[in-house]
Amino acid sequence: MNIDWNNLKQEAITAMKKAYVPYSMFPVGAAALTDDGRIVSGCNIENASYGVTLCAECSLVSDLFRTGPGKLVAFYCVDKHENILMPCGRCRQLLFEHSAPGMLLETVSGIKTIEEVLPDAFGPRELNERS
């Protein structure tokens, strides 16, 4: 599958501009390509009760399910300066759960697979193998 990284970045920027961040003032946007060719995106949505805040990756996964089935094959995340962001550990696990094997991420140190950024991960594939 051909990945248009520039298009993913632009989609992430568009999503970032819709973020609701009255507390941190740190908008984040994310976009991903699915195995059926769709682009899904999300932004962070803060809440006065900080623990209820949604990260951009969570919003993106919601969009994945809202628009149809599928697995993520490529991912891009940006901050308010349009710089690449690396998902935190929690978000890496969230992405792994919904990724195709070998999903690619644009990171601050270049393109890496989901398995490289979350080594020895445990998710649905491992559950199926051990059932």
End-to-end CA distance of the chain: 31
Contact in structure between 54 and 90 (CB atoms under 8 Å): no
What is 2-28 written as a DSSP string?
---HHHHHHHHHHHHTT-B-TTT----
Residues 32 and 25: their CA atoms lie apart, in Å, by 23
Sheet holding 39-43, edge to edge: 39-43, 29-34, 72-78, 99-107, 110-113
Residues 48 and 100: their CA atoms lie apart, in Å, by 34
Q: Is 57 a catalytic residue?
A: yes
Q: Of the listed 57, 82, 97, 129, which one is catalytic?
A: 57
Q: What are the residue numbers of the active site?
A: 57
